[in-house]
Chain A
């Protein structure tokens, strides 16, 4: 089963040329052996047993404060559908990167592969390459209903590509390098992006250490909320999230 996981995992990583050090590295670190066992236990509720699902919903309602019980039910239901759609490498415990990407693409119109990969890895907290029902509900809670606080943490995690707690100039460059559509003819192609990075840094780097710590980021965002998604969109916009909520939560009126 482990082998399976990896073989499905890797191609995806390779598809993302922008990010050589993404979640591909963590799986290499090796997983604690206890994990599969836990998976198996959780797999039961996910596998549509009525009673088990009710348990999951209950516990999730308690933990995820942004959703009501019926909303959690809807999300779990959606999760089940997605799991069913995905091939069963995880034996019904969750779904993989491809399904995740497709879902987010369809629901929120998020297209940027690089960003979607980062979103996947922030969802996939334990780095299994598989989104479980908890991860799914908690992740969506931030995406749809998150407070500014939660969203800041989420976005910072997305932008902090190597996970070292700082957004460095290089990371900014990575994220912004395709954002200039018109290149001035006489300048070096990268000049504009570097300049843009400098502008962003000037705006957000409060402690002037040439990189953004979470404190910098937080301060900048609190000052100007628009900077929350300064280095690329990673949250659904209000229209698509509204229509998503409408679609998902309305389907089950009970």
Chain B
């Protein structure tokens, strides 16, 4: 491939290049036919990445200048000067260029991963979807494609390992997002990863502690050849930052802030000009003004993920932590805020902790007393310190560190203040930490629930969201659920359901409602506020994280009989059953529970049956997740109980009985328990029991008999009791040694276990051999005591069992002496 020559013809071509759509296609077409003139322009860095590993050194010169501007810039300083004056006309072009490169890049990634013929458009489309194909495949004329794959994994020198890992996710995000237009590629990547982080952040049902850590630096693909006007401006200033005394440095730093530092071009320009190192070195000086100036810039550019990682790599965090001790308030604030920005990934948080940053940040909260006279400067300090703590609090160890540093009472103190900009990070920190039991205890005992409830009615949605998600996490504890009710927090929570357009808020609020609904009194309150009706309307067209919570809440509300009717009347059953086809395990567990709850009412059951809900539930027994299996089995119990012709229905599921019997081989206690309960219900139908017996339900149940888990014991005994009804199953239970362990269940403390066991023993006692075993295991004395129970069923079963044993004894005596 004559790429050595490619650069030279490329130079005259570029300035005339039209921008807009046509140019993009043109470039792509040329690229596909064979890398020629446009080659270096579309994938400049890429090429370099490839060159490293390849024996085509003659190309090296070729990619140095992508267009005439770059060429001249590289050669003539005077040209640079003149260009700097004409920045405006120039700066627009690169934006277009980048856009197209992005689109190209997306295709490249997809294609490189599959072995498709790259000339065919349709093939390319396929390639995009199959991201799992092996990499490293190279078709000679299309080295361009391959090399982009290479550059993605090799591009970053600093993170060689992470790079390859990141590449996968980036490829995916790019291929899916590539149609979106406008910004440069790396911005998109950042957005994608941000989105990811925020999703996990919102996934409040579990602690976000370790879930947002995956952010990894991504190397953008534009090369140093594609330099913007900002780059030159910043480079010029960087010269004075580097080579000046504090005064000159200060002027340059202040000037640098005139660039739009929230733009990625500028952020990366600062990094690429080596200015970042200088900025961090400046922090380590005694010059407060330079430190301040530098931090003001770092604060802005640390919004960028690459910069964050670079700052951490250059040891910036350690110095910033040290600055937290500075006597200068502004400086401390800036340092705290920058730490808040940088500590968005695990390693950075660890660094902050290891260098005593948590302690210092907590001290910052402490240093300001919340009198009536505190000033703007003080609130700023608190805000920044809280922001930094918030970022840090995403790591479990940091939560502990905050607690050890005495942060909890301070969080409680500031929770009472009135400034939303302080409250947001404070509540944010609290809701992060609420995943720890010690914090939940503190939240309860320090009276923070009251403030949290109060702020639910704030006008800031972000604050409302954090309050709701703090309640969501805390309401795992019963006392907190009661406190929320006592402080009248249920009403604002219900009211917030109307803000259904803010999905993050909605997820947090529905989560809080779900957890609060675990307490019965709260459910009654929710009935008052007509929350159930509102929740039903949220069953459709919501993101998964909202659905999980909504259906979870409905599942809890279902435990109240009145609500089952309410759900049916407001048309909630159909969408609920539809959700049985979802894939998210967390969602499925909640849907199963809710459907099971609804099925407790025969009228609901009829609807579920007509929607084929039982079959869907039954198929979920095949789900690999044990939680889903267990919840599905639990939900089947009321279904079988309440469906008309349930025996017929169960038989109609091909292979269904075999499936459920085989689940008795599971290792999960909850699955075993739930399946036992389901089998007990299924076995009420004789024909089904016969089928299950054929599938070997008896030995499988007997095998489980030696357990100490009372819940399992209870349902197992029930299942055995029902399974005795067929053929020689009683004898078979005796043969498989189920009787002796069962006899021991009578010594358990749980009365429900007693009842189920007595029933099972009564059934088993119909077989004389079993009676002998029971007698040997001393059941008579225990059963005699239970005859005196107030529980009729237990009483009757115990008496029946004793009668059977007695009858056998009499018969034996008669045979012996009579």
Interface residues, chain A, with chain B CB atoms under 8 Å away? 175-176, 178-184, 192, 195-196, 199-200, 202-203, 224-227, 229-233, 237-239, 242
- Which 8 residue pairs spanning A and B have beta carbons closest together? A182-B243, A179-B248, A179-B245, A179-B247, A200-B251, A203-B255, A232-B247, A199-B255
B589 at the interface (CB under 8 A from A): no
Residues on A with beta carbons closer than 8 Å to the beta carbon of B289: 226, 229, 233, 237
Known pairs A196-B240, A199-B237, A199-B255; A229 contacts B248 (CB<8 A): no
- Residues A181 and B245 in contact, CB atoms below 8 Å apart: yes
How many pairs of A and B residues are in contact by the CB < 8 Å rule? 79
Question: DSSP class of A's interface residues: helix, strand, loop or mixed?
Answer: helix
Closest-CB distance, B92 to chain A (whole angstroms)? 22
* Contact code string B244-284 (vs A, CB < 8 Å = 1, else 0): 11111011111101100000000000000000000000000
What are 30 contact pairs spanning A and B, CB under 8 A? A176-B247, A180-B240, A180-B243, A180-B245, A181-B245, A183-B243, A192-B240, A192-B243, A195-B236, A195-B240, A196-B252, A199-B237, A200-B255, A203-B254, A224-B254, A226-B250, A226-B253, A226-B292, A226-B296, A227-B254, A229-B247, A229-B289, A230-B250, A230-B254, A231-B247, A237-B286, A237-B288, A238-B327, A239-B286, A242-B327
* Minimum CB distance partner of B296 in chain A: A226
Residue of B with least CB distance to A180: B244
What residues on B are CB-neighbors of A175 within 8 Å?
247
Q: A181-B245, A226-B250, A237-B287 are known contacts; what are 4 more A-B pairs with Cβ within 8 Å? A: A184-B239, A200-B255, A231-B247, A239-B286
* Chain B residues within an 8 Å CB radius of A181: 243-245
Q: Is the CB of A180 within 8 A of B254?
A: no
Contact of A233 among B237, B242, B246 (CB under 8 A): B246
B209-259 CB contacts (< 8 Å) to partner A? 236-237, 239-240, 242-248, 250-255, 257-258
The 8 Å CB contact of B247, one of A184, A225, A233, A238, is A233
Q: Does B425 contact A (CB under 8 A)?
A: no
Docked pose: A199 CA to B234 CA in angstroms:
12
Q: What chain A residues lie within 8 Å of B257 (beta carbons)?
A: 224
Interface contact A199-B251, CB-CB below 8 Å: yes
CB distance from B745 to the nearest CB of A (A): 76
What residue in chain A is nearest B257 (Cβ atoms)?
A224
Contact A203 B251 (CB under 8 A): yes
B489 within 8 A of A: no
Chain A residues, CB < 8 A from B251: 176, 196, 199-200, 203, 227, 230
B328 at the interface (CB under 8 A from A): yes
CB distance from B91 to the nearest CB of A (A): 18
Instruction: Indicate if B293 sits at the interface (CB-CB under 8 A).
Output: yes
- B255 with A202: CB separation less than 8 A: yes
Q: Which residues of A contact B288 (CB under 8 A)?
A: 237-239
Main secondary structure of the interface of B (DSSP, over half): helix
* Neighbouring A residues of B242 by C-beta, 8 Å: 182
Residues of A within 8 A of B255 (CB): 199-200, 202-203
Q: Is the beta-carbon distance between A199 and B293 smaller than 8 angstroms?
A: no
Residues of A within 8 A of B254 (CB): 203, 224, 226-227, 230
Residue from the list A180, A184, A203 in contact with B248, Cβ < 8 A: A180
Contact with A along B314-336 (1 / 0, CB 8 A): 00000000000001101000000
Q: Give A202 to B254 CA distance when docked, in angstroms.
A: 11
Closest-CB distance, B324 to chain A (whole angstroms): 15
Q: Is the CB of A178 within 8 A of B245?
A: yes
B-side contacts of A225, CB under 8 Å: 330
CB distance from B597 to the nearest CB of A (A): 62
Contacts of A180 in B (CB 8 A): 240, 243-245, 248
CB distance from A201 to the nearest CB of B (A): 10
Q: Given the interface contacts A181-B245, A226-B292, A232-B247, does A199 sit within 8 Å of B240 by beta carbon?
A: yes
Known contacts A199-B237, A226-B292; is-contact A238 B328 (Cβ 8 Å): yes
A80 to B254, CA, bound (A): 41
A2 CA / B473 CA spacing, docked (Å): 82
A71 to chain B, nearest CB (A): 19
Q: A226-B289, A230-B250 are in contact. Are A203 and B244 (CB under 8 A)?
A: no
| Interface hits, B707-751 → A, CB 8 Å | none
Query: What's the Cα separation between A180 and B327 when bound, in Å?
Result: 29
Q: Looking at the assembled complex, report how far the CB atom of B299 sits from the nearest CB atom of chain A, in whole angstroms.
A: 13
Tell me which of A196, A224, A231 contacts B244 (CB under 8 A): A196
Contact yes or no, B250 A229, CB < 8 A: yes
- What 1/0 flags go to B681-724 for Cβ under 8 Å of A? 00000000000000000000000000000000000000000000
How near does chain B come to A218, taking the closest CB pair, in angstroms? 15
Residue of A nearest to B287 (CB): A237
Interchain CB contact under 8 A, A176 and B248? yes
Q: How far is the CB of B278 from chain A (nearest CB, A)?
A: 12
- Among B239, B250, B328, the one with the most A-chain Cβ atoms within 10 Å of its Cβ is B250
Q: Which residues of A contact B327 (CB under 8 A)?
A: 238-239, 242
Closest CB in chain B relative to A108 CB, distance in Å: 13
B122 to chain A, nearest CB (A): 55
**Neighbouring B residues of A232 by C-beta, 8 Å:** 247
Please, how many angstroms separate the alpha-carbon atoms of A178 and B247 in the complex?
A: 10
Query: How far does the alpha carbon of A224 sit from the alpha carbon of B250 in the complex, in Å?
Result: 11
* Most A CB within 10 A of own CB, among B243, B244, B250, B251: B251
Chain B residues with CB below 8 A from A238, complex form: 288, 327-328
Kindly report which residue of chain B lies nearest to residue A225, judged by CB atoms. B330
Q: Is the CB of A199 within 8 A of B252?
A: yes
What is the chain B residue whose CB lies nearest that of A228? B289
Report yes or no: B240 in contact with A230, Cβ–Cβ below 8 A: no
Provide the B626-655 mask, 1 if CB < 8 A to any CB of A, else 0. Answer: 000000000000000000000000000000
Q: CA of A181 to CA of B243 in the docked complex: distance in angstroms?
A: 6
**Assembly CA distance A238 to B329 (angstroms):** 10
Q: How far is the CA of A107 from the CA of B243 in the complex (A)?
A: 28
Residues of B within 8 A of A199 (CB): 237, 240, 251-252, 255
A196 touches B328 (CB 8 A): no
User: In the complex, A135 Cα to B296 Cα: how many Å?
Assistant: 36
A175 to B248, CA, bound (A): 10
Smallest CB separation, A206 vs chain B (Å): 13
Chain B residues lying within 8 Å of A178, measured Cβ to Cβ, are 245
Residues of A within 8 A of B252 (CB): 196, 199
